[in-house]
Structure 1
Amino acid sequence: MQIDLMSSKFYRICEWIWRLAYVNLLWIFSTLAGLVIFGMLPATVAMFAVLRKWVMKEPDIIVFQTFINTYRKEFIKANGLGFIFVVVGYMIYFNYLFLGTIAGLMHMVLLSGLFCTVLVYLNTLFYIFPVYVHYDLKLFQYMKVACIIGIINPLTTISLVLSIVLLYYLFYLIPGLVPFFSSSMTGLLIMWCTSMTFQESK
């Protein structure tokens, strides 16, 4: 009986290893198919759509079909969302350069404001993909909801950041894992933690 239980657990672990590696490879190939720049965001959305199904206890989905269908369906919309983040990021960077021309008290005040803006920006970017695949909203609404979730769940955000730091330390120690698990395991951590906030908000 104990041997059967151990065999079952070993099988489940191997199954999850295969799933994560498979999704990670799909993400890489789909990103390349979109010439990287245009493929990365749709591929990431598609990956999170698959991960969401797994986290929501739907492990028997057809992974390839779910991934490709989401990739095609969300290609333009996901890139539109990415364009917004690029523009906002450029504005933040421009303001950072502008601060170099200011000195004194005004510099410190504006620097503090810019620091808060960067935190909000990173916080929104952190949660945007789980929100994107969980809700059906307009582009700017995705950003609003992602920002709010991060702000009202600071402990979740901190725990998630620490978990990702530890994960990437593991990748640093074993770089051979990166091509097979870097994106999918990062996404799974984010999706799993965020899904708990979705359940709490019901």
Structure 2
Amino acid sequence: MEMRGLMGGLYKISEWIMRLSVTNLLWIICSIPYIFLLLPTLMAQTTDQFLSGIILSSIVAPFTLFPATSAMFAVARKWVMGEVDAPLLRTFFRNYKESYLQSMIGGILYVLLFAIMIVDFQVYVKELTTLKLVSYLFIALMVLLAVSLFNFFSMVVHYHMKTFQLLKNSVLLTIGRPIRSMSTAIMSGIVIYISVSSPKLMFLIPFFTGSIVAAIAFWNFYGIYTKLQMQAEKNAAAAAEAEAEEAAQRASEDAVGIEKLEADKESNVRK
């Protein structure tokens, strides 16, 4: 029996708190090796310690963080598509297993891209005087790369494609739909900023931040997917209609030709 009114609303809120927190905790648990290396890095006292920690955590990320993130996006996919009662544990671990290889390969490539951009940024900072302009440019590029990473995770759990097709399409989708990309970046940025803005809100990180960002990112991706699908259906319907009209025109022309031929035959017989 479905509860209504205030109690029904509170029950639904508690259900969503449970879904978000359980999914976020599963994501963190499956990313423990990466987190184990990242936390000391954030508290490093020297630049050398910080850089070595970043390098080690980046090496581990494709094998732990990226598959766990894909599994989290698979759960978010269920929510966005209306399957809010999908079993969390089964959905998470089934997709963790199924998407592990593609997530790992994609993770390696994305880590390399981020590393190249960071190294280039360091080089340009030392050589150029227009530091502020270069900083803004690199920040914008890294935000776009992060959004394309979110699109990659969304496509891994939504499509059956080869890994390099997923990587190519995630980049093209990010560039080709700038409004949706900006929406993903802004909303995800707000959630992350709130989570780290105050020590009192740090509890959001282990319980809600990741799963909320995944839901936002997949929601924007699914909006793009729905529009593309509708456009493809319209194009297919228009092509079928044009083909039907062409076939009808050919049939009409053939009928006119047959009538003319019969008329000529009848005229010849009379002669």
Same topology, TM > 0.5: yes
Give aligned-pair identity as a percent.
29
- After TM superposition, the structure 1 stretch with the greater mean CA deviation from structure 2, 134-143 or 157-166, is 157-166
Q: Distance in 2 between matches of 1:180 and 1:28?
A: 9
| Paired residues, number | 193
Q: Distance in 1 between matches of 2:191 and 2:82?
A: 23
Q: Which residue of 1 aligns with 2:108?
A: 83
Cα deviation for residue 152 of structure 1 reads 2.1
Q: Distance in 1 between matches of 2:157 and 2:5?
A: 35
Q: Which residue of 1 aligns with 2:145?
A: 121
1:83–1:8 CA distance, 2 compared to 1 (3 A): same
Gaps (5+ residues) in structure 1? none
Q: Distance in 2 between matches of 1:103 and 1:158?
A: 28
1:90–1:160 CA distance, 2 compared to 1 (3 A): closer
Q: Distance in 2 between matches of 1:4 and 1:90?
A: 52
Amino acid paired to 1:168:
I
Q: TM-score, normalised by structure 2?
A: 0.63
Q: Distance in 1 between matches of 2:112 and 2:120?
A: 12
Question: Helix, strand or coil: the match of 1:57?
Answer: coil
Q: Which residue of 1 aligns with 2:27?
A: 27
Q: Which residue of 1 aligns with 2:210?
A: 183
Cα deviation for residue 70 of structure 1 reads 1.4
Amino acid paired to 1:201:
L
Whether contact under 8 Å (2:21, 2:207) holds in the other structure is yes
Q: Which has the higher contact order (CA 8 A, sep 6+)?
A: 1
1:85–1:58 CA distance, 2 compared to 1 (3 A): same
Q: Distance in 2 between matches of 1:119 and 1:166?
A: 13
Amino acid paired to 1:23:
T
Gaps (5+ residues) in structure 2? 35-59, 230-271
Pair 1:40 & 2:72 matched: no
Cα deviation for residue 97 of structure 1 reads 4.8
1:17–1:43 CA distance, 2 compared to 1 (3 A): same
